[in-house]
Structure 1
């Protein structure tokens, strides 16, 4: 447990403050801060706008870019200040991956991603019902989203100077994609009983992404985790592990915005994550999409902290 630092990302891409942004505080209250060596507090990632950008279809685009910049800078600071520790970034929603990879791409070059999620998060921005970046962050990371999210220039701090650049950019990363699709795995997504929009979203996922669907996870979570770990070992790049807790079946965790039946339970998820957490190439973990407002007595926050105990630190 002493090998980690904690960084909160209270980020709700809907701009409605419906609940995800409260998750870092709720998980701290459930004991998460006591499981790590250092708690760095929260990055300034609160989203306050709900208007969709007419050019891109992205909701709250200016706040999203500012949040991306803030999280990238906070993560960079944490990793510089504590090089002996790995980051545990707690959201908020899956949009936090934009900030995480804005830093990782600059600092580490090629980095792979295990995306454990009930959804592919590959919605086309203009076709999205909501415009929330949590619907499309995987597409943006792999270069298929709007250019301003997919990355053309590096987000830099005010006091950083890069060759040929001055000041800040409104865009996210130096090169697109931030994650090569061949270095990405999508794990736990649903592939049955989908509506037409979900079918179209799944069809957009690049074919060279490793996919391990929810049925495979439920049937043998340990084998699914070992398969994803072995695949990553062959890539030869550092890996980031992201867990969207809506990968869980609603019977195990109903406190999410977009629940879907057919997912693993908490023990299954712990078994899936254990080989990934033990992988020598793992450089950090993020957790997203928990809704404390749907957990009035805190029981689900406690269960998520216990899950991290079981999966990451045992």
Structure 2
């Protein structure tokens, strides 16, 4: 990870409103050495989601606070992009719905594509989500599926056209009925590489995903939800699932994406330092980023 090329921005985002742990991840990753690897640390965006109430009209949890959090992260990232145009941002969360603040800032600079690396599709309808958390919804929201209050954060939706999104690492076999229904909701236009395919040949999976978007004429954002990893590799996440890659396989899949000339930035989400009291997993996350990011 070249220190001169990256700027860290913390996004202490916990869409559950319960303080369950993700919001502490930026601080934990800095303690593990992330700040020493980047040339600039821009601090944390002022994000606070503290309610668990679901909006009666949409079913989304903490809707008003989520909009404010998205606006705050968009403003912080926009400011960083303006004052450090020679650096690519590394946004560390927080849970994966931080994309609701990231994508509007990047999209303001031009059309954007998305490599979405996640153990889940995050394409539920709010009414189908047991919790209403935006962490169940955000890929749908950024590709135009969901309530106007969130799909329109960057103007007329979609923020990212479905054909400019690639879903990587989601579980597609052995699912219960609800999880299978969520996978089925993902539009055909969203290209996908499931976890079994990634594990079978990680480098080829990364090259295929890169090829799909490298010629799109868009900058591309790389989003990494750490629950893509198998729980045997990283149990310190909110929603672990078996069947994912180990650290080495994930690194091999990410390298082609991280070295794309069209990469505009990276976000990392869903690390739970409260489930990592010794800090060993935080250090492993930092080592992954150091090994993968150019």
Q: TM-score band, normalised by the shorter chain? A: over 0.9
Per the normalisation by structure 1, the TM-score is 0.92
- Kindly indicate whether residue 254 of structure 2 is the aligned counterpart of residue 252 of structure 1: no
Q: Residue 107 of structure 1: CA displacement?
A: 2.6
1:169 aligns to what? none
Q: Residue 233 of structure 1: CA displacement?
A: 1.4
Moved over 3 A (4+): none
1:222 aligns to what? 203
- String of CA shifts for 1:141-194, please: whole Å, max 9, x gaps: 01111111111xxxxxxxxxxxxxxxxxxxx12120000000000000000110
Alignment of 1:135-284 (within 5 A): 135-151=136-152, 172-284=153-265
Q: Residue 58 of structure 1: CA displacement?
A: 0.5
Per the normalisation by structure 2, the TM-score is 0.98
Contact 1:21 1:46 in 2 (8 A): no
Give the length in aligned residue pairs: 292
Contact 1:118 1:263 in 2 (8 A): yes
Alignment of 1:45-194 (within 5 A): 45-108=47-110, 110-151=111-152, 172-194=153-175
Gaps of 5+ in 2: none
> Whose helix proportion is higher, 1 or 2?
2
Q: Residue 35 of structure 1: CA displacement?
A: 0.5
- Kindly indicate whether residue 266 of structure 2 is the aligned counterpart of residue 285 of structure 1: yes
1:165 aligns to what? none
Separation (CA, whole Å) in 1 of partners of 2:103 and 2:214: 20
Gaps of 5+ in 1: 152-171
Q: Residue 105 of structure 1: CA displacement?
A: 2.1
Q: Over aligned residues, Cα RMSD in angstroms?
A: 0.7
Q: Residue 103 of structure 1: CA displacement?
A: 1.4
Separation (CA, whole Å) in 2 of partners of 1:145 and 1:138: 10
Q: Residue 234 of structure 1: CA displacement?
A: 2.2
